[in-house]
Structure 1
């Protein structure tokens, strides 16, 4: 795993391409991000202690936001050219969240129509705890995994 703040320019461009790919962006709140916005965001991570973004090899991105002593919101997206990498990305999230950040709870939000992602999260024992505006809130408590 490589922190976004340590990426070279080519890696930053690659991630933006993945993020803006139609198969990825259709499940994002902001469908398209411009290069300057992307680069400014990565630069802002250097001083933001509540957000951590990682490139995982050449397979995808994982992130932790709203990090506190006990919990964080998490997310991921894959390299659109890769298949069957969701479990590897989830393993990285769970390992980093519970073993490095020592969190008690991981929280995520997923669109109701993103069945592939929902099934992945359920496979890792995330539980649905709320639904609002087409978003399902799910959580994984460390002691229950």
Structure 2
């Protein structure tokens, strides 16, 4: 049984990823601006985007990752994504990840999506901690995390990317 649940907020609908989202996935995972602070595999072809979508579908089915497509209410166009993944063995900690189309940044969209996912993580999944790994120079992401009460974890490093800082939010 999948823990995935569609989530509605005042302005947003967080829904399941579909194969028809491949063009948005390709853009979000390949655009230099979107990926300026992220080290991840590109999805610069339809084939790579569809392979990523299939990987996410399988991860969601097995609850190893929960991935939401961010859309505006009443629209189906993917404008970004947010996920909980990298769960601890006891399922009490998860990592949050997110991206957003540049044309929709600076409008509070990711703040609204993040609040909904924090609520879902703590109140539905019963997590006691959510971590976020963000590049040291990504001030927009750092400000978003601080606005949502994430605290810098002093001394913790991301072994995969030493340019990342680690933030965490503990269940209130």
Q: Do the two structures share a fold, i.e. TM-score over 0.5? A: yes
SS in structure 1 opposite 2:103?
A: coil
Instruction: Answer whether contact 1:25 1:32 (CA < 8 A) is retained.
Output: no
Cα separation, partners in 2 of 1:37 and 1:28, compared to 1, 3 Å: farther
Deviations along 1:102-144, one digit per CA (max 9) or x if unpaired, are 211100100001011101101111000035311101100011x
Structure 2 length-normalised TM: 0.72
Cα distance 1:32–1:41, how it changes in 2: closer, same or farther (>3 A)?
Answer: same
**How many matched pairs?**
140
Unmatched tracts of structure 1, length 5 or more:
none
Q: Which runs of 5+ in 2 are unaligned?
A: 1-13, 72-77
Matched, 1:78 2:100: yes
Residues 73-106 of structure 1 show CA distances to partners (whole Å, capped at 9, x for unaligned) of: 1111112221322211211221221122121110
Counterpart of 1:93 in structure 2 is: 117
The two structures, once aligned, show a CA RMSD in angstroms of: 1.9
Alignment of 1:53-64 (within 5 A): 53-57=67-71, 58-64=78-84
Which structure: greater helix fraction?
A: 1
Q: Is contact 1:60-1:89 (8 Å) kept? A: no
Residue among 124, 133, 141 paired with 2:148: 124
| Structure 2 Cα separation of the partners of residues 16 and 35 of structure 1 | 5
Say which is worse superposed, 52-61 or 116-125, in terms of deviation.
52-61
How far apart are the structure 1 equivalents of 2:30 and 2:113? 19
- State TM-score, norm by structure 1: 0.84
